[in-house]
Structure 1
Amino acid sequence: MNNIISPRELHTALQQPQQSIILLDCRFTLGKPEAGSDAYQNEHLPDAHYLDLEKDLSSVATSHGGRHPLPDVQKLAQKLGSLGINADSRVVVYDEQNGMMASRAWWLLRYIGIEYVQILNGGFTNWKQSGYETTKSVPAASPQTFVPFVQQDWGLAGVEYVKENLHNPNVVLVDSREKKRYLGLEEPIDFVAGHIPGAIHSFWQDVLTSEGLWKTDKEWKEMFFAIDSHAEIIVYCGSGVSACPNVLALKSAGFPNVKLYAGSWSDWISYRDNPIEKNR
């Protein structure tokens, strides 16, 4: 299954009576927590339900765990079940942030056992520019009982695991933030600048074309050609959200062992004795 679906492909699939697709609108603007919900209330894809990054796709931040800790699995499953989703559902997620929020949803749904999850290429903007219908109507749901089954091999890394593997030549750390943040030249969000020692840099938006569409599997393979295909790859960002597009690209490119460090940089620096590196 392709992880990405075009507006045309989605529109065609939605016209098929035998197809049952649940759409999830994941639009969210960091620093403006109500903007995504407001955008959804104003206009969204027909029959789409809304998932909020901070209320649904994250848990409350504490002293450790980063700015967007993963949500409680049971709570997320209950939310998804209330929207009519179970483990056998076909789900398409979208946002308006170049796939960043949608990728977080994609990763989480796959992690808790939903296999058929795709991201709408180009998100809400591409759908609308393609001339397809939008609506203000909030759909009714047919609640399902969703029993989550965490996919341990899907790949999740915690802070201790990262520390244990800092000098492991078979483990590659990938920092997904902007280059200036990686280098420690500036840090507009967190209280410490720099990166985890030994991490290489690959800005998450580089998995997209200049038009904001997802690149192909072949292009991703070329992007990550320098990484050993047998290596274990741990991807992080600031808070475990913008790392997810890189996780998707690496997995789609055929790398078999890719993990998300969900707490990411904001978790790493919450432990004052953790080493940091700068390349000023």
Structure 2
Amino acid sequence: MAKVFVSVKDIDFDKTKWIDARFSLQDAGEGQRKYEESHVTGAVYWNLDHDLSDMTKSQGRHPIPAKEALTELFRNSGLSLDDQLVVYDDGGSPFAARAWWLLQYAGFENSFIAHEGFGKIKETGVPVNGEKPQPLRTSVSPEWNEKIYAPRQFVEDTVAGETASILLDARSVERYRGETEPLDPIAGRIPGALNFDWERLKKEGVFNLDEVVKEQLRDVVNPAEEVTVYCGSGVTAAPLYAMLKHNGYESTRLYVGSYSDWISKDGVKVEKD
């Protein structure tokens, strides 16, 4: 079972590089303002729209940046592949998981998600300030792990029955069933997909690491099966991916384009209940 989430009390502050990924889908500037007010000392800030997505692309609502852009982000953040990295947000949010998945994709295997949000982290006595760090630029070369990335073609092949992967939709049951669609122009789901609402992963504002979530996940998909997770834009599917890995699902991919990318192609098929 892969270690994904780490409690602040178990982190060696002196040996850790921190990444602040706080964000709000309702207010895109909120995370930056919070960071400038106070953050873990030395933490760099990664913005969902500016750093963790390329909003100029058309592959869904939060497209994955080009590898060249991600490499620049890692280098400007002062990262090396063997660094111990901890990403945090406000707790129980998808943004640290999105950053963590990109780190995993790039080969930063010693990267983790802080189980607690920034408020709890601050309460534990971890040093915080409002100063923007100036990390030394590195020449790190990512080692891309394509086995955890699902491009659109892989999903098309999966729908056609040409892969062994199971599609798992992280959106609400209502959106999965096609009963409502507040964000995308076409309601429904990718054909053949199962459903596990990412909100079910949380308890009291943080991700629930108890056995109950493991059991609920196993009621939907077996850990021995290959799983490809998606959501609306690839953001809230990231914590579902993280929880699957945390609970022993070894063969798991993330369709970053997700449903918003799937329906962007004319004539594409969707399912509804």
Please tell me the TM-score bracket, short chain as reference. Answer: over 0.9
Contact 1:61 1:68 (C-alpha < 8 Å) held by counterparts: no
State yes or no: 1:241 paired with 2:249: no
Alignment length, in residue pairs?
A: 270
Secondary structure of residue in 2 paired with 1:29:
coil
Aligned with 1:81 (options 60, 75, 92) = 75
Secondary structure of residue in 2 paired with 1:224:
helix
State yes or no: 1:269 paired with 2:270: no
Aligned with 1:213 (options 190, 201, 206) = 206
State yes or no: 1:158 paired with 2:159: no
Contact 1:27 1:52 (C-alpha < 8 Å) held by counterparts: yes
Q: Deviations over 1:184-238 (max 9, x none)?
A: 22211111111112211111122222x1222227444312213133322110001
Equivalent positions of 1:91-102 (< 5 A) are 91-96=85-90, 98-102=92-96
Q: CA deviation at 1:130?
A: 3.8
Question: Alpha carbons of 1:86 and 1:217: their partners in 2 closer, same or farther (altered >3 Å)?
Answer: farther
1:40 aligned residue: 35
State yes or no: 1:259 paired with 2:253: yes
1:8 aligned residue: 9
Distance 1:5 1:97 in 2: 12
The runs of 5 or more residues in structure 1 that have no matched partner are none
Which segment is superposed worse, 158-167 or 240-249? Answer: 158-167
Percent identity at matched positions? 34
Secondary structure of residue in 2 paired with 1:259:
strand
Contact 1:217 1:249 (C-alpha < 8 Å) held by counterparts: no
Aligned with 2:24 (options 25, 29, 47) = 29
Equivalent positions of 1:106-121 (< 5 A) are 106-121=100-115
CA root-mean-square deviation: 1.8
Secondary structure of residue in 2 paired with 1:172:
strand
Opposite residue 259 of structure 1, the aligned amino acid is R
Distance 1:31 1:52 in 2: 14
Q: CA deviation at 1:37?
A: 0.7
Secondary structure of residue in 1 paired with 2:18:
strand
Aligned with 1:179 (options 156, 173, 183) = 173
Secondary structure of residue in 1 paired with 2:174:
helix
Distance 2:249 2:77 in 1: 32
Which segment is superposed worse, 95-104 or 254-263? Answer: 95-104
Alignment TM-score, normalising by the size of structure 1 = 0.90
Secondary structure of residue in 1 paired with 2:39:
coil
Contact 1:22 1:48 (C-alpha < 8 Å) held by counterparts: yes
Secondary structure of residue in 1 paired with 2:253:
strand
Opposite residue 62 of structure 2, the aligned amino acid is H
Q: CA deviation at 1:132?
A: 4.2
Q: Deviations over 1:219-262 (max 9, x none)?
A: 44312213133322110001111101111111121112111111
State yes or no: 1:136 paired with 2:137: no
Contact 1:122 1:212 (C-alpha < 8 Å) held by counterparts: no
Contact 2:91 2:205 (C-alpha < 8 Å) held by counterparts: no
The runs of 5 or more residues in structure 2 that have no matched partner are none
Contact 1:182 1:201 (C-alpha < 8 Å) held by counterparts: yes
Distance 1:79 1:104 in 2: 14
Alignment TM-score, normalising by the size of structure 2 = 0.92
Distance 2:136 2:32 in 1: 21
Opposite residue 51 of structure 2, the aligned amino acid is D
Distance 1:184 1:29 in 2: 25
Distance 2:234 2:247 in 1: 20
